[in-house]
Amino acid sequence: MQILCYLLKRLAFSIPQIFGVALVAFFLLKLIPGDPAPMMLGPLATQEAVDKLRAEMGLDQPLPQQFIAYLDRLAHGDLGRSWQTTNPVLFDLWQRLPATLELVTLSLFMAIVIGLPLGLMAGRRPNGPMARLADSYCIAAGAIPDFWLALVLIFVFYSIFKIAPPPIGRLDFAVFPPPSITGSYVIDALLEGNYYSFRAALAQLILPVSTLGIIYTVPILTMTRTTVERLNETDFIRFANAKGLSPARVSRHALRNALPSVITVIGMLFGTLVGSVVLVEVVFAWGGAGQYAVSAVLNADINASLGFILMAAIVSLIVNLVVDLITLILDPGTQN
């Protein structure tokens, strides 16, 4: 009952949050130079034709009126139509979002696998060799832009050593995608039993996942280390050490108490990555929602740009809600 009340309270706050995102995004996008009408009609279009199309699209109306019209469509589940693809924006995002979620999820999994144990070992012995290794890793990885690391990995592992596939998207051109069940090629290929497509999809994931995993290990490592170092000074860890418990058991106790903070960071990273993975998607021609958003902004496709921003905001709200519920279960005192 307590969790249900908390869930309903959080959902009630989601509506004004989405409205605020839509409001800010709409007016900021309108400040970007570019008019979709001439782009849609081409360079040979007459001014009369351009004016007619702008009137049909409602672009000749004042901005507040355009925003109210957009909110009315949004309330009916209509994100508009992309002039580039001629498809409803909702359909485009539904087709591309699984590619982004697959990339983000596996990248975060890699970041957790590296950052959690390294942060735990560095936190347990702040002056030990693992702490020095963690310092070096954070300094190096924290200073590298993700798109630059992506280019370096492509150059080294594809151009020089020829051990990675070319950055041409989620699958090689010669491989047919598996039937869409979850939208993730790796999972769908496994469910179908198509191991050839599974290996091909997994190979294409190695470099982009490594790029994001290496970079986003830093926040997880830092939070784990900081929390565990703070826990070293608590009474229950001192008591565990005094009882003569093995270092592994003491570390398990410390990790369990550090989990709420670490899970919160992971949730924030997930929401951030969905919206900020765009450059890596462009580098690897990933075909996800991020690459779709970049193309929309460059071509003044307002409906597609707004749709991506709202989608990223909704995913972030959902992830944060799930993280808060997990944290509440692990530590009920966090609600207060």
Q: How far apart are the first and last CA of the chain?
A: 16
**What is the Cα–Cα distance from 133 to 225, expressed in whole angstroms?**
12
pLDDT recorded at residue 244: 83
In a domain? residue 322: no
Q: Which of 286, 287, 281, 311 is nearest to 80 (CA)?
A: 311
CA 280 vs CA 33, 91, 145, 250: distances in Å = 25, 23, 10, 39
Q: Which two tokens stand for residue 252?
A: 């398990």
32: left (phi over 0), alpha (psi -120 to 50) or beta: beta
| Amino acid occupying residue 269 | L
pLDDT of residue 110: 96
- Does residue 20 lie within any of the structural domains? no
Residue 126, domain CATH: 1.10.3720.10
pLDDT at 336: 47
171: tokens are 């699958």
The residue whose two tokens read 């007016």 is 27
What is the full per-residue pLDDT of the chain (336 aa) written as tens digits?
667 787 788 888 888 999 999 999 999 988 877 778 888 888 878 889 988 988 888 888 999 999 999 999 998 889 989 988 889 999 999 999 999 999 999 999 999 999 999 999 999 999 899 999 999 999 999 889 999 999 999 999 999 999 999 999 999 888 899 998 888 999 999 999 999 999 999 999 999 999 999 999 999 999 999 999 999 888 888 888 888 888 888 888 888 888 888 998 999 899 888 888 888 999 999 989 988 998 898 888 889 999 999 999 999 889 888 888 888 777 655 554
Beta bridge partners of 88: 81
**Total domains in the fold of the chain:** 1
CB 204 within 8 A of CB 281: no
In a domain, 156, yes or no: yes
Residue 240 CB contacts under 8 Å (≥ 6 apart), including other chains: 249, 250, 253
Q: Which two tokens stand for residue 302?
A: 């307002």
Is residue 218 within 8 A of residue 141, CB to CB? The reply is yes
With respect to residue 112, please indicate whether it lies within any of the assigned structural domains: yes
Per the structure, the complete domain to which residue 279 belongs is given by: 97-285
Does some domain include residue 281?
yes
Tokens of 166: 């070319």
- Distance, CA of 181 to CA of 56 (rounded, Å): 38
- Does 11 reside within a domain? no
52 in any annotated domain: no
